[in-house]
Amino acid sequence: MFNSDTAYTNYLKTASTQRLKRAILKLFPNTPVSVSLFRSFDNVTATKPFANTSYTDFVNISSLNRTDTSSNFNRSIGAYLNSTALKPVSSRVATVEKILDENGYTASKRASMSNDVIGIQIADDVVYETSDKDNENVMYSGLKLSQYPNSSIGESLNYHITIAKAK
DSSP 43-104: T--SSS----TTEEEEEEGGG-B---TTSS---BHHHHHHHTTTS-HHHHHHHHHHHHHHTT
Strand, coil or helix: 130: strand
Mean pLDDT value across residues 22-35: 95
Mean pLDDT value across residues 8-34: 93
Condensed to tens digits (0 to 9), the pLDDT of residues 40-60 reads 876 665 555 567 788 888 888
Strand, coil or helix: 20: helix
Phi, psi of 117 (to 5 degrees): -130, 160
68/60: higher pLDDT: 60
Mean pLDDT value across residues 136-151: 36
Length reported for the chain: 167
